[in-house]
Structure 1
């Protein structure tokens, strides 16, 4: 099939002969017409390009040969855009030979490259004209290159995909500047809600009326995933593994099973969560909800170790109908050998069960579940998660029926916005304002959660948003319980437009947000995993509040957080949006294997039962080898039965590693005081200098805010530098140096003495009755050093645990004076 195309080119015409619709013409030439007595006729036809190659020598074809070619053509086309005079000349020539023609729209950029392509439905708008996708892609490649942003291949591919989706070059290129937030351009995809699905009527549930009335007060029907759980045997005592997105109603599944089993006299409910913040919230919710039907609720978390005004009214006993606890809080009871104190347990709910795959805490949850299953074989176990790779494997391993609900009750729009660091605040402020100005059909304003990678960023972003007139708040584990609850209540009442928090709390607190913004793609200096990302993005859009959820990722092209991290932030963002969950591996190191095996010896002395517990775990434990090692460390005695030694009991109950256990033993033998021992075990390093910014200005250098970083200590020990600091801050620095850095160590100030003395200072202030927030005020007054109350709280909790372990170890060693001193110090810290 032969086509011939004419297009205007100055006073001449470009001619293309196209064979079999190919975009690369057989040849491209230049036609000059000349008028004679008969009209316009071909005068010169010069070939410029043949079979894709530019010709260096002049090559012409005869007019007669060209006319014969025209007569053979199956299709003669005139490209729109010729001048009227040119068009008349060309039509005159074609009419003289009785040749039919048609007008066509072709890509101007292709024409300039001596290529051929039609303008059609797939074409791309480029400024005020349409061009073909191939040319638009070439132009976009130039723009991306000129942007000087270090983009990876996956990012470039994303831009190409956006170009083809929007069919608008200018809108796609605008993603680079982010001067405007066009949702049609930034939208990556939309995860749609499900259509009509089965919803079980609450009235038909075979449950006690007290529970039924509570459910009816909220809704006449169960949500789809709840209905699926009922069909899977929720009310028949079956173990269930429920995998469903956030806000689909998973929590209530566990509650229905637990409360019904309580009312049926099958035993209490243990509701276990990974975070203290989430345990506090669940405790408050359950206490309010189930006290109406006469049920008691208690909490088992680290907070019961320290008596403060905010925790004094929490019920912590084990005789309640419902016990909300952190994983470690309940595991501590088992490791003490006090499983019987839990009494009859009818239901165990493991919330956020995907924490099994956590690199730091996964082995402990794995061991805890295995021990609970061993101790309570007749108990109903409900496992809840929004994201699990290979859920079939998890369900089989946990001996549970699998319930997977793949849809959300509200759709989520996911957007990708490339931004520079210096423009993120402005963009986030605009997104927060726009969302807060919208009301859902349920009458709720849009509120935003902003995830960032550090506590310092939480404060900076929240303060910057305030400057834009936005009522925002920072929220992280460094805050004390009272501070966190205040923020939670304000957010629930719609008084706060945006919460800025760390990725570490993604699985935690239930903020009913309609929008989630990822200011960073990292958690600390490590990239987010797909599992983390899905958990966090799942916070957007709640069925009782919103009609849809919005998720916005704001990567900085080329940015990374550590030299060891592979990929750049925008590549990670795209991978998170595209990524499916990877199958998890459970590979425990020797320390983790020793810990879990020793902990399991806390609940059984039987070799066969011990093997049974280990085999039910996800991670493999080299049982025989680890038992021999535990015997070597004098943590167990091996015989027909496996028995913990007293030292092993203490190490297990207080989560002590082998090295920490023997550090305590050696320190006691060396006559070191309990205060020195616990501060040598763990330093408090989360302190920062409150006036670091002001001192940096005085010194004309960037001073790190963290107190025990090398650069900060160099300043203190450099008299030349100190004289440039204003007297107010100079005095604070000198006070700190005098109290903390006076020692005879050759490595001073890098010997660790300063960290130990500072840790002692915190503990001694606590022994005088100061609460964490009061300790911070004292440190600020004396040294200009500040910290988060939550960090002080956690450090004191660890100190109490270590002192209690030390007291028991000292008694076991017949060092009664040390035991007495450790107990006295522990009680003073507890308050």
Structure 2
């Protein structure tokens, strides 16, 4: 047994700790009283404390302990007078002691631990690792923010890395950002893969000269694609992170095929905003080569701007369209109008795994392969969980490039909600003050979880900023895109719209929220968003900052808190999800495919190539029973009803709803307002109302208990008369049903949707509709949302009109046609 005696000399007492075998916990705690004798200082009283009970022992026991011990230690930083007395006493016994640095926090707990160069700094002194951990844990447990287990582990890892508890605790005061500590990791730039010389490419001379104006060499992923047969017609799935040059791969194949007279280019994207941006880019870039570009983005039937001069004809060399915009042409029997297709580029192809839209992208790809069997197909994505599996299912070659074009740093900041604006302000200002070696200022994208938050945050930031989301008009979005592109706008605040590929050259991405709506981001969405940070043509590096609120949840049934979710996203990997659809989605795709072929065997071949499993025979029988198509031997033909359903993207249930309403001679207005509510409306004066009632009123009109809160008699009386009058008008117009479930029965949303349609029929554009709603009821909406809703109303009225004609309901058809024209404008 090894025995050490540690003596701690304080002014009021001397503590003795016998240490067995170098363990931290002593055999007992002793208290020593020394008296001065003629022979010098000697033990006078010796008290032994065990299990919180003290008992005096003969002083000789202490002397025996000293003589038995292999080592006697005296803690430094004790009382100098007492230390001198102890040394004199030991010398009287012909014993010596070592002066040692020990952890003061351990001593307070009657424990023992040495201090050394590896010990932890805290309050201008050093403490041992165990005490540093315990002190950190104590602070976290006493915090009002309730840090998750994952966050506590992260902070402990920072403590162990820095060996500085003071710096670590500053992480809990995020206004004092320490970039060294908030950095979660750094992702290095791509390896030095030499790009092919553009001058050596076997492409059209004018096209080559155009490309050389921007760069003399291809980027690495572009070189890999060319080396793998891109210019020899090879179908490819190209997966690489954002800003590595994937788009040009599609352009290289598409433009060269156009110039070689191999056919036009179809460029498919998921969003209207992205389609508009690509249309502008291709028009400006390739019109000098005599190549014209057109735009196809769904119905786009509402006339709101005289300045929209976008080319819409299908008689163009390049057709940029949304997935649904191109599919509409196929579903309505217009495959031949697309002309000779040489190249199909599908951007953001990972959308094929999306639960809601995946079946339609899967379907349009399969139908395009059928109508353009000789076309070259190029699929592009930054986030595919299992690229090899995706390439196999798409029947294409995989080009995979895993490296970033610029280095990126990812930072995690734990912060309370009220600190976010201050933190974001600092981060945006710091970034905008920097200029890259390419001469570009640093610009920031802030991602948040709702459109209202886009505006709230943008207004709160004390610098020039702008919200950006699908609820804005195309003119408003265009203005933001131009301002950001010219480097004049330091920051844009957005929702998921930007993550899907809209081109903003940002050097910094801030996650103000880790949710979209009330659902946590998934790994694919997260990687799409952080991929917006750092562009090789603009920046030397990218920054990503996650602002995570401990203990925050967006719904009561969310298991994780935001701080825990942040670490899961930063540590996680994409999970592959097997693709399958419900029966309604499968029936819709069979119906759509029957619009491009009259052969059962061909239809089966088309659906064999799709990602989901189709029992075509069973589904065809159902469609035949529903009277959507006729089948005879190997031949199928859509009925008139089936053509309408296919062309209008109607599910079986929705098609039947419209048909039944027509047969009942229900007014078209009631039919379309029942099919789809417009409920994206907000209390314009939500802040004033909340202050007056001393409650947190949800801003959305038809959300939660908003209506119950407002229309309690006592609450209404507490509002000023102007607000009260507007709310009474709202109640009298929309809350007058006798349903038991009122106001949650849907009647209010139905009546409100009819009101939107009526106001449009009076000649108001979407912005005018919003102004009228604000004037009448004190509620507001986004013009882009109104436009999207009216577009859907027109498409549904079109279906009502055509179904009414099919069933000889001329009056209903006429009424639907008249209302449709009024809404179109």
TM exceeds 0.5?
A: yes
1:293 deviates by 1.7
1:570 corresponds to which of 548, 563, 587: 563
1:202 alignment partner in structure 2? 198
Superposed counterparts of 1:143-542, under 5 Å: 143-302=139-298, 304-309=300-305, 312-465=308-461, 468=462, 470-542=463-535
2:778 alignment partner in structure 1? 784
Whether the 8 Å CA contact 2:495–2:516 is kept in 1: the answer is yes
Q: Taking structure 1 as reference, are residues 268 and 23 closer, same or farther at Cα in structure 2, changes over 3 Å only? A: farther
CA displacement 1:217-241 (0-9 Å, x = unmatched): 1112222222222223222222222
Greater mean alpha carbon deviation, residues 307-316 or residues 122-131: 307-316
- Could you tell me how far apart the structure 1 residues matched to 2:403 and 2:171 are? 30
1:616 deviates by 2.0
Is it true that 1:823 corresponds to 2:784 in the alignment? no
- SS of the residue corresponding to residue 574 of structure 1 reads helix
Whether the 8 Å CA contact 1:192–1:408 is kept in 2: the answer is yes
2:800 alignment partner in structure 1? 806
Q: Taking structure 1 as reference, are residues 454 and 92 closer, same or farther at Cα in structure 2, changes over 3 Å only? A: same
1:663 alignment partner in structure 2? 657
Greater mean alpha carbon deviation, residues 707-716 or residues 372-381: 707-716
Greater mean alpha carbon deviation, residues 119-128 or residues 217-226: 119-128
Greater mean alpha carbon deviation, residues 743-752 or residues 422-431: 743-752
Q: Taking structure 1 as reference, are residues 95 and 318 closer, same or farther at Cα in structure 2, changes over 3 Å only? A: farther
1:94 deviates by 7.1
CA displacement 1:734-764 (0-9 Å, x = unmatched): 5445555567878776664543443333333
1:160 deviates by 0.9
- Could you tell me how far apart the structure 1 residues matched to 2:529 and 2:245 are? 16
1:581 corresponds to which of 565, 570, 574: 574
CA displacement 1:145-179 (0-9 Å, x = unmatched): 11032332112111111211222212222222323
1:198 deviates by 2.5
Whether the 8 Å CA contact 2:301–2:794 is kept in 1: the answer is yes
Is it true that 1:8 corresponds to 2:2 in the alignment? no
1:649 alignment partner in structure 2? 643
1:180 deviates by 1.2
- Could you tell me how far apart the structure 2 residues matched to 1:763 and 1:667 are? 18
Q: Taking structure 1 as reference, are residues 93 and 58 closer, same or farther at Cα in structure 2, changes over 3 Å only? A: closer
CA displacement 1:10-46 (0-9 Å, x = unmatched): 2536444452x55556777667778888877888887
Q: Taking structure 1 as reference, are residues 556 and 709 closer, same or farther at Cα in structure 2, changes over 3 Å only? A: closer
1:703 deviates by 4.9
Task: Normalising by structure 2, report the TM-score.
Answer: 0.92
1:287 deviates by 0.9
Q: Taking structure 1 as reference, are residues 709 and 139 closer, same or farther at Cα in structure 2, changes over 3 Å only? A: closer
Instruction: Give unmatched runs, 5+ long, in structure 2.
Output: none
Superposed counterparts of 1:562-711, under 5 Å: 562-641=555-634, 642-695=636-689, 703-708=697-702
Q: Taking structure 1 as reference, are residues 127 and 404 closer, same or farther at Cα in structure 2, changes over 3 Å only? A: farther
CA displacement 1:210-262 (0-9 Å, x = unmatched): 22212211112222222222223222222222221112222222221211222
- Could you tell me how far apart the structure 2 residues matched to 1:794 and 1:203 are? 45
- SS of the residue corresponding to residue 185 of structure 2 reads strand
- Could you tell me how far apart the structure 2 residues matched to 1:176 and 1:584 are? 37
Q: Taking structure 1 as reference, are residues 291 and 99 closer, same or farther at Cα in structure 2, changes over 3 Å only? A: farther
- Could you tell me how far apart the structure 2 residues matched to 1:747 and 1:84 are? 81
Instruction: Report the aligned-residue RMSD.
Output: 3.1
- Could you tell me how far apart the structure 2 residues matched to 1:416 and 1:404 are? 29
- Could you tell me how far apart the structure 2 residues matched to 1:95 and 1:365 are? 90
- SS of the residue corresponding to residue 554 of structure 1 reads strand
- Could you tell me how far apart the structure 2 residues matched to 1:784 and 1:39 are? 92
- Could you tell me how far apart the structure 1 residues matched to 2:824 and 2:801 are? 15
- Could you tell me how far apart the structure 2 residues matched to 1:383 and 1:77 are? 72
- Could you tell me how far apart the structure 1 residues matched to 2:451 and 2:202 are? 47
Q: Taking structure 1 as reference, are residues 36 and 266 closer, same or farther at Cα in structure 2, changes over 3 Å only? A: farther
Greater mean alpha carbon deviation, residues 104-113 or residues 234-243: 104-113
Q: Taking structure 1 as reference, are residues 37 and 255 closer, same or farther at Cα in structure 2, changes over 3 Å only? A: farther
- Could you tell me how far apart the structure 2 residues matched to 1:765 and 1:313 are? 26
Q: Taking structure 1 as reference, are residues 305 and 27 closer, same or farther at Cα in structure 2, changes over 3 Å only? A: same
Instruction: Give unmatched runs, 5+ long, in structure 1.
Output: none
- Could you tell me how far apart the structure 1 residues matched to 2:194 and 2:38 are? 84
Whether the 8 Å CA contact 2:367–2:593 is kept in 1: the answer is yes
- Could you tell me how far apart the structure 1 residues matched to 2:643 and 2:305 are? 33
1:609 deviates by 2.8
- Could you tell me how far apart the structure 1 residues matched to 2:299 and 2:626 are? 32
1:375 deviates by 2.9
- SS of the residue corresponding to residue 474 of structure 1 reads strand
Q: Taking structure 1 as reference, are residues 114 and 288 closer, same or farther at Cα in structure 2, changes over 3 Å only? A: same
1:138 corresponds to which of 125, 134, 140: 134
Q: Taking structure 1 as reference, are residues 67 and 767 closer, same or farther at Cα in structure 2, changes over 3 Å only? A: closer
- Could you tell me how far apart the structure 2 residues matched to 1:579 and 1:746 are? 47
CA displacement 1:406-458 (0-9 Å, x = unmatched): 22122222122222222222222222222222222222222211111111111
Task: Normalising by structure 1, report the TM-score.
Answer: 0.91
1:195 deviates by 3.8
Greater mean alpha carbon deviation, residues 634-643 or residues 482-491: 634-643
- Could you tell me how far apart the structure 2 residues matched to 1:564 and 1:267 are? 53
- Could you tell me how far apart the structure 2 residues matched to 1:188 and 1:5 are? 44
1:561 deviates by 0.9
Whether the 8 Å CA contact 1:15–1:31 is kept in 2: the answer is no
CA displacement 1:705-731 (0-9 Å, x = unmatched): 434457565688777765665444444
Whether the 8 Å CA contact 1:277–1:508 is kept in 2: the answer is no
2:553 alignment partner in structure 1? 560
- Could you tell me how far apart the structure 2 residues matched to 1:164 and 1:379 are? 58
- SS of the residue corresponding to residue 171 of structure 2 reads helix
Whether the 8 Å CA contact 2:797–2:820 is kept in 1: the answer is yes
Q: Taking structure 1 as reference, are residues 83 and 588 closer, same or farther at Cα in structure 2, changes over 3 Å only? A: same
- Could you tell me how far apart the structure 1 residues matched to 2:770 and 2:484 are? 26
Greater mean alpha carbon deviation, residues 352-361 or residues 310-319: 310-319
- Could you tell me how far apart the structure 1 residues matched to 2:326 and 2:101 are? 73
- SS of the residue corresponding to residue 414 of structure 2 reads coil
1:299 deviates by 0.8
1:328 deviates by 0.9
1:90 deviates by 6.0
Greater mean alpha carbon deviation, residues 530-539 or residues 624-633: 624-633
- Could you tell me how far apart the structure 2 residues matched to 1:349 and 1:485 are? 24
- Could you tell me how far apart the structure 1 residues matched to 2:312 and 2:204 are? 27
Q: Taking structure 1 as reference, are residues 85 and 545 closer, same or farther at Cα in structure 2, changes over 3 Å only? A: same
Greater mean alpha carbon deviation, residues 522-531 or residues 200-209: 200-209
1:327 deviates by 0.9
CA displacement 1:662-704 (0-9 Å, x = unmatched): 1111111112232232222222222234344445556666555
CA displacement 1:546-588 (0-9 Å, x = unmatched): 2222211112211111122221111111111111111212232
Q: Taking structure 1 as reference, are residues 124 and 602 closer, same or farther at Cα in structure 2, changes over 3 Å only? A: farther
